[in-house]
A and B are shown apart, each in its own frame.
Chain A
Amino acid sequence: MTGAVAGAQPPRGRPSAPRSTGQGFGRLLVTVYGILAFAALGRSGYELATKFSEAPVAYSLSAFSAVVYVVATIALARGRGAWRAVAWVAVSIEAVGVLTVGALSLASPDVFGESTVWSGFGQGYGYIPLVLPFAGLWWLLRTRARSAAPSAGDPGRPRPA
């Protein structure tokens, strides 16, 4: 953490309280999450309704990712208190999911039978599923509470005034 990053905090943010994850850049983040949640829900609903038996693993995975996107969208939109913890969990699951499924799908294309939202690192969705969880993690870090005294986590952080 450098002084430049600390100085880039929007002036409206109260320095000691966590900012809501739904404000500012968070508006865009939640929007993209919401769109992806819609896309994943639609895809998964279609797959479950019409052809689940063809590739149960892949379609279950798609349904799971859809649920995670919905939870992440709501949690990031709420953005305060316990919702932040929910957002951390959901976004982390996504990050692990897209990297694991992406890597597996490249290593052996037939592993899930059919493609999923996370196959090829989210290739079918313009790699947005790959970028989004890391943008989410970055944003959760960026908006977290900052104590008055330098914490053990960031010993070297400059404290202007």
Chain B
Amino acid sequence: MLTPTPGAGLVAGRVQAGILGAVVLPLLLLLVALCVALAAWALVFVVRDRAVILRQLFGAAVVEAVLVVQAVVAAVLLVTGDHAVNAVLFWGYLATALLVLPIAAAWAFAERTRWSSVVLMVASLTVAFLGFRLWQIWAAA
């Protein structure tokens, strides 16, 4: 993707797109890893019969931040036309992934039993799965 092209004005843009393109899959990998880590943390709380704590919500916020970066990178790539992807599917999955944790976190935090930790765990695993699907959709293009 980084092969130099003769079109003088476009070179900088192409190189930038190439770098961004190389970032998408590692970002998704990071996303899935963070989600699995958050789910494991929540599982520890389930086993110890504890409710979700604020620090775990910060963890969820980090996942959200990665998703936002992912969205921006993908938007740049798709707008500049460097990468063709099933846009409806991709944005549908990304929008869903962005919504899951904030809603689930609010829902979990209102419950002060171990079930709140179960909710956070399920939500994290869901986002991990959505990240995996995003990866498939992106790679299929």
Please give the number of chain B residues whose Cβ is less than 8 angstroms from any Cβ of chain A in the complex: 20
| Residues 93-129 of B contacting A (Cβ, < 8 Å) | 93, 96, 99-100, 103-104, 107-108, 111, 113, 115-116, 118-119, 122-123, 126
Interface residue B88 (Cβ < 8 Å from any Cβ of A): yes
Interface residue A32 (Cβ < 8 Å from any Cβ of B): yes
Given A38-B99, A46-B89, CB of A28 within 8 Å of CB of B113: no
Cβ distance B95 to chain A, nearest Cβ, rounded Å: 9
Find out whether the CB atom of A27 lies under 8 angstroms from the CB atom of B126: no
Find out whether the CB atom of A35 lies under 8 angstroms from the CB atom of B126: yes
| Residues 103-150 of A contacting B (Cβ, < 8 Å) | none
Given A27-B107, A28-B118, A28-B119, CB of A38 within 8 Å of CB of B96: yes
Q: Interface residues of A: mostly helix, strand, loop or mixed?
A: helix
Find out whether the CB atom of B119 lies under 8 angstroms from the CB atom of A27: yes
Taking CB atoms, residues of chain A closer than 8 Å to B13 are none
Interface residue A8 (Cβ < 8 Å from any Cβ of B): no
Q: How does the 8 Å CB contact mask read for A18-57 relative to B, with 1 for contact and 0 for none?
A: 0000011111101110110011001001100110000000
Taking CB atoms, residues of chain B closer than 8 Å to A23 are 111
Find out whether the CB atom of A42 lies under 8 angstroms from the CB atom of B116: no
Given A24-B113, A25-B115, A38-B99, CB of A31 within 8 Å of CB of B107: yes
Taking CB atoms, residues of chain B closer than 8 Å to A35 are 100, 122-123, 126
Specify the chain B residue showing the minimal Cβ separation from A24.
B115
The docked-state distance in angstroms from the alpha carbon of A49 to that of B88 is: 10
Interface residue B26 (Cβ < 8 Å from any Cβ of A): no
Given A35-B100, A35-B126, CB of A27 within 8 Å of CB of B116: yes
Taking CB atoms, residues of chain B closer than 8 Å to A34 are 103-104, 107
Find out whether the CB atom of B118 lies under 8 angstroms from the CB atom of A27: yes
Given A35-B122, A38-B99, CB of A30 within 8 Å of CB of B92: no
Find out whether the CB atom of A27 lies under 8 angstroms from the CB atom of B100: no
Specify the chain A residue showing the minimal Cβ separation from B111.
A27
Taking CB atoms, residues of chain A closer than 8 Å to B92 are 42, 45-46
Taking CB atoms, residues of chain B closer than 8 Å to A50 are 88
Cβ distance B106 to chain A, nearest Cβ, rounded Å: 11
The docked-state distance in angstroms from the alpha carbon of A23 to that of B29 is: 34
Taking CB atoms, residues of chain A closer than 8 Å to B126 are 35
Find out whether the CB atom of B119 lies under 8 angstroms from the CB atom of A31: yes
Specify the chain B residue showing the minimal Cβ separation from A10.
B113
Cβ distance B49 to chain A, nearest Cβ, rounded Å: 13
Residues of A within 8 A of B (CB): 23-28, 30-32, 34-35, 38-39, 42, 45-46, 49-50, 77
15 A-B contacts, Cβ less than 8 Å apart?
Answer: A24-B111, A27-B107, A27-B111, A28-B115, A28-B118, A28-B122, A31-B107, A31-B108, A34-B103, A34-B107, A35-B100, A35-B126, A38-B96, A46-B88, A77-B107
